[in-house]
Structure 1
């Protein structure tokens, strides 16, 4: 099968492992997509905070979704995905720092989570509740932010992603997300893993928010799809085949993205492109926090923050603690 796989996909490189995104096209189905596989990067994000299992799974899905979307943007900057809701998990923030850095954080109400567990209401949609999801593209201080907002009303992140792309970019999109804990021989604890796939019907003019392939790049093009669009047979087939993917396939450490693509789409023809590595990376720093304390708070407010003569600021993403002398901020 290996020779058939390599020949079919045109691979001249090793198959892709963990912590990477692999773009692909299904030319016969007028469809393109991406596969993401997360291992150590996700395990670091989720294990650092010792989240309850349902919270960790939900945040894991958010990290996968942000990786699928953020890794497609071909410029320096940040992709920020944030939920604010009334559910037990009332806030999720995932930052993708182009071209490859990912970090994530979830805030939850412990009592509400316990109650949800007692009633068996711990699906991702139930944990989120009602509110909104915002996706923001920030290319830096001298550019205008692009933001799309979708209502959350008892929906899963997969369903919300479909709505987002249709409303904000008018691109038919289908997403699959999966998160699991897997114990391998020699490990002292289960490790978090995740996988995801995103497929999109190619607009007639080839322009969209995502820039997977050479020639793409317009990330704000509301006219990229015909409002009278009727689902094409190729797109229906691409979606149907994606719907057959199981969670185990998406998280299996022994099933590379290329083999998964071959398994799904070898009869219709799939073309894969070089992978893009992903790393868990926080963007916090002592200098940034010092600037924030100096410019956003008065001297009295900084004095009030001090405990035992120090101001301590802990990064919510990576849990790094930064300590400052409140007197060091005096104006010169």
Structure 2
């Protein structure tokens, strides 16, 4: 843990593909700042998504990583949208503590119409539907899921509604995603940045959770449902609103230096970064188990093409082939 009003870090400033937890103790606020580079670029370029689709999936990857990286246990955080828009499905799977993968499904004809009309904001691409956030703590633990209607022009707005309705935690999220060229490398690469802050006032006792891994995601009683916005929270939000999108994704501006610019007058305390990597959890063994346990013989027979069952992972595009006879009883 390091103090920053003077940026006197006892470590190097954080670069890409990492989350930096922080607290604004004087404003009763905690937060996380993220910067994604190569990890996001691999996710978005693997499927050669059209630019608007890549951008909205990038936002979902940032949001899922900000929330999922706070989990205190080995498990999965899953962000999923199902909607009636051109981009009708987004799935981001955060495998705690540090792995993320993402996938988008879209209808090309509907996307072409939307792009021709200039309707390419996240809200217009997603349309109407819902967003679900799921915490899976493992085989023998109960799942936690919160669902909110997908309303608003951005995933930022949806996240604000989600946390107030499902968690009753006043939350502000800023996300920026772009395809940029850096000095010495003319190839455009996807990168993103984001900040999430949450107001956790002290009601007679210390409620600020330990960092890193500060997730009290499943505790709906942390904030009074009749919460009236306090001056401290207004100040924290107002300062974050001054942040430009270009600063969020700037490869030359570390999260620590960005936070210092925002909150040096009120005080900010930053913690050691948590690395993030693009990583798929698919394997031949997992898919074989799914085929054996989730499908009947008749369903597997319908999957056979040229004597093989072929499965391609939607996340990482890895191709698997199985002999259908291996599923028959001995």
TM interval, short-chain normalised: over 0.9
Normalising to structure 2: TM-score of the pair?
Answer: 0.94
Q: Which residue does the alignment assign to 2:309? A: 311
Q: 1:261 to 1:67 in 2, by over 3 A?
A: same
Distance 1:310 1:187, change over 3 A: farther
Residue of structure 2 aligned with 1:114, choices 108, 112, 115: 112
What is the CA-CA distance between 1:29 and the residue it aligns to? 1.1
SS of 1:204's equivalent in the other structure is coil
The CA distance in 2 between the partners of 1:244 and 1:185, in whole Å, is 26
Kept in 2, the 8 Å contact 1:21–1:277? The answer is yes
Contact 1:34–1:197 (Cα < 8 Å) also in 2? yes
Q: Could you tell me whether the CA contact under 8 Å between 2:34 and 2:194 is conserved in 1?
A: yes
Distance 1:288 1:215 in 2: 28
Written as runs of structure 1 = structure 2, the 5 A alignment for 1:114-263 is: 114-187=112-185, 189-205=187-203, 213=211, 218-263=216-261
Deviation at 1:53? Answer: 0.1
| Structure 2 equivalent of residue 11 of structure 1 | 9
Q: Is the 8 A contact 1:181 1:191 kept in 2?
A: yes
Aligned mates of 1:273, 1:40 — CA distance in 2? 23
Residue 282 (structure 2) pairs with residue 293 (structure 1): no
Does 2:106 correspond to 1:93? no
Alignment correspondent of 1:56: 54
| CA apart distance, 1:188 | 5.5
Pairwise CA distance, 1:30: 1.1
Larger mean Cα displacement after TM superposition, 173-182 or 6-15: 6-15
Q: CA deviation at 1:219?
A: 3.5
**Do 2:212 and 2:271's aligned partners in 1 also have CA atoms closer than 8 Å?**
no
Structure 1 vs Structure 2 CA RMSD: 1.8
Tell me the equivalent position of 1:267.
Answer: 265
Alignment of 1:41-52 (within 5 A): 41-52=39-50
1:163–1:261: structure 2 CA closer, same or farther, 3 Å change rule? Answer: same
Q: Is the 8 A contact 1:87 1:130 kept in 2?
A: yes
Structure 2 unmatched runs, 5+: none
Q: TM-score, normalised by structure 1?
A: 0.94
Give distance in 2, aligned partners of 1:215 and 1:179.
25
Do the aligned residues in 2 keep the contact of 1:128 with 1:154 (CA within 8 Å)? no
Unaligned runs of 5+ in 1: none
2:35 corresponds in structure 1 to 37
Inter-partner Cα distance in structure 1 for 2:213 and 2:258: 26
Q: Within the alignment, does 1:78 sit opposite 2:94 as a pair?
A: no
Structure 1 CA distance, aligned partners of 2:305 and 2:210?
A: 49
* Cα contact 1:88–1:113 (8 A) shared by 2: yes
Match of 1:278 among 276, 279, 282: 276
Distance 1:57 1:296, change over 3 A: same
| CA distance in structure 1 between the partners assigned to 2:143 and 2:322 by the alignment | 32
CA contact (8 A) 1:103 1:280 kept: yes
**Cα–Cα, structure 1 residues 163 and 145, in superposed 2: closer, same or farther, change >3 Å?**
same
Tell me how far apart the structure 2 counterparts of residues 25 and 302 of structure 1 sit (CA, whole Å).
52
Write the distance in 2 (CA, Å) between the matches of 1:185 and 1:9: 25
Q: Distance in 2 between matches of 1:299 and 1:117?
A: 43
Q: Distance in 2 between matches of 1:167 and 1:212?
A: 24
Change in Cα spacing, 1:163 to 1:79, as seen in structure 2 (3 Å) is: same
- Distance in 2 separating the partners of 1:174 and 1:26: 14
Aligned length: 326
Shift of residue 311 of structure 1? 1.1
Structure 2 residue matching 1:36: 3-state secondary structure: strand
1:156 Cα offset (Å): 1.3
